[in-house]
Amino acid sequence: MITVSLKRFKGVSVSPYDSLNLSYSVGDDAVSVTENRRRVKEQLGIRTLLSARQVHGDSCYITRKLVSADLEVNGYDALMTDQSDLGLMIQQADCQGVTLYDPDCPAIAAIHSGWQGSVQNIIGKTTEKMIALYNSSPGRIRAHISPSLGPCCAEFVNHSLEFPPAFLDFQVKKNYFDFWQISRMQLLQAGLRDEHIKAAELCTSCSPDYFSYRRACREGDGCTGRCATVIALLS
Ligand SMILES: [Zn+2]
């Protein structure tokens, strides 16, 4: 099994997508994105990528038959498979990419969880799907939380309208929230063991190594690329 959160370098896209932009949906040249995705597959040693046109919902796409060519499904924010050598790719610019791995089945999932995903608890819902579909025991599932918007930068001035009251426990100062800890809480509630949850705890808005929507808004019109978190079972 391999799970990685890719930095934004070593691609071919030009500004403001420089350079490893992996999204076809942000205005970048499609030929560049295809080459960037090819480089990711080469680097990770996988043949095929499954991704989604993400919509900040809570739907999970589960592979029912062999995925033998790159596939981008529409309208999902989580991906799940037990197929080997298939990379599940989440595209992100501040949102969290959360990966799940059941070593016994084996099976994997990749989850896109921005604040709307956190509110809908897509992490808990996807974990429950993995448990039901693959007879996974939550006590053996491993989780990884990617670099994403940190508590230093996660300001939400409308949180009283947008967030459930339980999120107030994770308010670190007025209007700032720790979504890494919210995700950990959702994984623990789904039955995972604390020692099986790893978080990068790197803020994408602070680090120039990653695309960041918040940073792009601070510096201009918000137009930027998308990094990716990928998980794959290797044969
Ligand atoms: Zn920050």
User: What are the structural domains, with CATH classification, of the chain?
Assistant: 2-232 (3.60.140.10)
Average pLDDT over every residue of 70-99: 98
Calculate how far, in angstroms, residue 230's C-alpha sits from the geometric centre of ligand 1: 22
The CA 71 to ligand 1 mean position distance, Å, reads 33
What's the gap in Å between 85 CA and the centre of ligand 1?
34
DSSP annotation of 166: G
pLDDT band at residue 58, thresholds of 50, 70 and 90? Answer: very high
pLDDT of 115 reads: 98
The alpha carbon of 181 and the centre of ligand 1 are apart by a number of angstroms equal to 15
Question: How confident is the prediction for the chain on average, in pLDDT?
Answer: 98
CA distances, 93 to each of 149, 176, 229 (Å)? 8, 18, 11
CB–CB of 190/123 below 8 Å? yes
- What is the whole-number distance in angstroms between the Cα of residue 44 and the centre of ligand 1? 28
Determine the pLDDT at residue 103: 97
Cα 140 to ligand 1 centroid, rounded to whole Å: 31
- Summarised one tens digit per residue, pLDDT across range 179-190 is 999 999 999 999
Token pair recorded at residue 141? 């599932």
pLDDT grade, residue 138 (50/70/90)? very high
CA atoms lying within 13 Å on the CB side of residue 202: 18
CA 42 to ligand 1 center in whole angstroms = 31
Confidence of residue 202 (pLDDT cuts 50, 70, 90): very high
Report the candidate in 175, 99, 105 with the shortest Cα–Cα distance to residue 136.
105
Average pLDDT over residues 190-205: 98
Question: Measured in angstroms, how far is the CA atom of residue 153 from the centroid of ligand 1?
Answer: 4
Distance 102 CA to ligand 1 centre (A): 31
Distance (Å) from CA 67 to ligand 1 centroid: 37
Query: Could you give the percent of the chain with pLDDT greater than 70?
Result: 100
DSSP character at residue 119: H
- Residue 188: how many CB atoms within 10 A of its CB? 16
* CA 196 – ligand 1 centroid, Å: 25
The pLDDT, as a whole number, for residue 25 is 97
Alpha-carbon distance of 77 to 202, in angstroms, equals 22
Q: How far apart are CA 146 and CA 21, in angstroms?
A: 17
Tens-place pLDDT, residues 4-53:
999 999 999 999 999 999 999 999 999 999 999 999 999 999 999 999 99
CA 150 – CA 170 distance, rounded (Å): 12
Give the tens place of pLDDT for each residue, 90-134.
Answer: 999 999 999 999 999 999 999 999 999 999 999 999 999 999 999
